[in-house]
Copies of this chain bind each other. A is one copy, B any other.
Amino acid sequence: MHGARPTIGDVAHAAGVSKGTVSLAYSGKRPVAEETRRRIFAAAETLRWTASSSAQALATSRTSTIGLVIARRPEIIATDTFFPRFIAGCEAVLAEAGMGLMLNVVADEDAETAAYERFAAGRVDGVILLDVEQGDRRPNLVRELGLTAVMLSAEPPHENDPVGTPVVYTEDAAAVGELVELLIEAGHSRIAHVSGPLRYVHAVARRDAFAAAMTRHGLLPDRIVEGDFTAASGRDATAALLDGDDRPTAIVYANDVMAIAGLSYARSSGLRIPEDLSVTGFDDSELSAHLSPGLTSVSTGADVRGAVAARTLLAALGGDARRSVLVDGTVVVRRGSIAPPSRP
């Protein structure tokens, strides 16, 4: 039954045409008589033929696949709901375009470099760069390797960003500002922030937005602690924040998991949520929506970002490279985790 897959030659033979014509009938790169194309399609169907990707790749030097390397520790990948949603979003547009997605999760920088090198050895046409850092080395790395790339960001591109790599970005700053706004309106002034790892541009963007919003209202942004997106760090940061006697009445977390762990810790140490402590998350995970009370969070449209990133990369591969594209899906989702402070 399996074994000997049919080749384009078999189809050509069965349809009584040349291999070139079969190819053309499928690619549509040049007209084929209607009657001929029907015969070809019929033959292909009965033989159950589909073109071999490797042969196509070799002939066209296009692999029809794009690559994604994820360079976070496994606990974090598992904990952060961003990746799977982002990937699902990518897939939706890739599948439609007949493209594949090659994934690589790596533990350190050497493995990361190796991954891009493998990608460049004819495995993928382009890559999406996630978790961009200040002065990130990857745009240059992948350019040298001859890979087309797009990168994700949480803010518009700077002038000194490497040119040539389109940036797909959200504007997280406005949403974080709105969160702080909401808290201040409710009567809070001692508001803390638990950030993500500050080597990431997106974590810095959110922290800076937090600080800016506080300052704008004459408040000192002096309660900031750096987390790493894990539940463990959320709990520890919360413990540290709640330890002093001038403790915050509200905490803005850089993701939902840290917020949930923090909220749970606060509760177990006797605080009521939201009466004694208001909290907000970021990323709007499914769990947050179904907690009681629900967690006020920021929906960043991870799947939409995946879709836009994929579309932008496909466009770049097609020669249509734009400088940057804004994904306009960042919106604050209000739920029950904010209340006026009990002891303002």
Q: Which of these, B85, B121, B291, contacts A231 with CB under 8 Å? A: B291
Extra contacts, 5 of them, besides A55-B58, A260-B260, A261-B291 (Cβ < 8 A), are: A53-B118, A53-B121, A83-B84, A232-B286, A257-B286
Q: Which of these, B61, B95, B143, B293, contacts A104 with CB under 8 Å? A: B95
A contact face: mostly helix, strand, loop, or mixed:
helix
- Asked if A290 is an interface residue, CB under 8 A from chain B, the answer is yes
Contact A102 B102 (CB under 8 A): yes
- Asked if A75 is an interface residue, CB under 8 A from chain B, the answer is yes
Q: Give complex CA distance A286, B258 in Å.
A: 11
Chain A 109-122: CB-based contact to B (< 8 A → 1; otherwise 0): 00100110110111
Give the distance to chain B from A339, nearest Cβ to Cβ, in Å.
Answer: 14
Measured as residues with beta carbon below 8 angstroms from the partner, the interface class of chain A is: 35 or more
Closest to A302 in B: B78
Q: List 21 A-B contacts (CB under 8 A).
A: A50-B120, A52-B58, A54-B54, A57-B57, A58-B58, A65-B102, A77-B84, A77-B85, A78-B285, A79-B287, A87-B105, A91-B104, A95-B114, A100-B118, A230-B286, A231-B286, A257-B286, A264-B292, A268-B292, A268-B293, A269-B292
Chain A 79-102: CB-based contact to B (< 8 A → 1; otherwise 0): 101011101100100010010111
Chain A 220-263: CB-based contact to B (< 8 A → 1; otherwise 0): 00000000001110110000000000000000000001001100
- Asked if A29 is an interface residue, CB under 8 A from chain B, the answer is no
Contact B63 A54 (CB under 8 A): yes
Listed stretches A1-9, A171-179, A181-189, A311-319; interface member: A1-9
Of A100, A146, A290, most buried by chain B (CB within 10 Å of CB) is: A290
Closest to A233 in B: B290
Q: Which of these, B50, B51, B102, B303, contacts A74 with CB under 8 Å? A: B303
Contacts of A291 in B (CB 8 A): 231, 260-261, 264
Q: Give complex CA distance A122, B5 in Å.
A: 10
Chain A 261-304: CB-based contact to B (< 8 A → 1; otherwise 0): 10011011100000000000000011101111100000000110
Q: Which of these, B50, B51, B53, B287, contacts A261 with CB under 8 Å? A: B287
- Asked if A103 is an interface residue, CB under 8 A from chain B, the answer is yes
- Asked if A325 is an interface residue, CB under 8 A from chain B, the answer is no
Contact B101 A115 (CB under 8 A): no
Q: Give complex CA distance A66, B287 in Å.
A: 32
- Asked if A145 is an interface residue, CB under 8 A from chain B, the answer is yes
- Asked if A106 is an interface residue, CB under 8 A from chain B, the answer is yes
Give the distance to chain B from A51, nearest Cβ to Cβ, in Å.
Answer: 7
- Asked if A123 is an interface residue, CB under 8 A from chain B, the answer is yes
Known: A84-B83, A292-B268. A75 touches B235 (CB 8 A): no
Contacts of A143 in B (CB 8 A): 1-2
Contact B292 A265 (CB under 8 A): yes
Contacts of A289 in B (CB 8 A): 231-232
Contact A290 B261 (CB under 8 A): yes
Known: A85-B74, A91-B105, A292-B265. A54 touches B122 (CB 8 A): yes
Chain A 28-68: CB-based contact to B (< 8 A → 1; otherwise 0): 00000000000000000000001111110110010101000
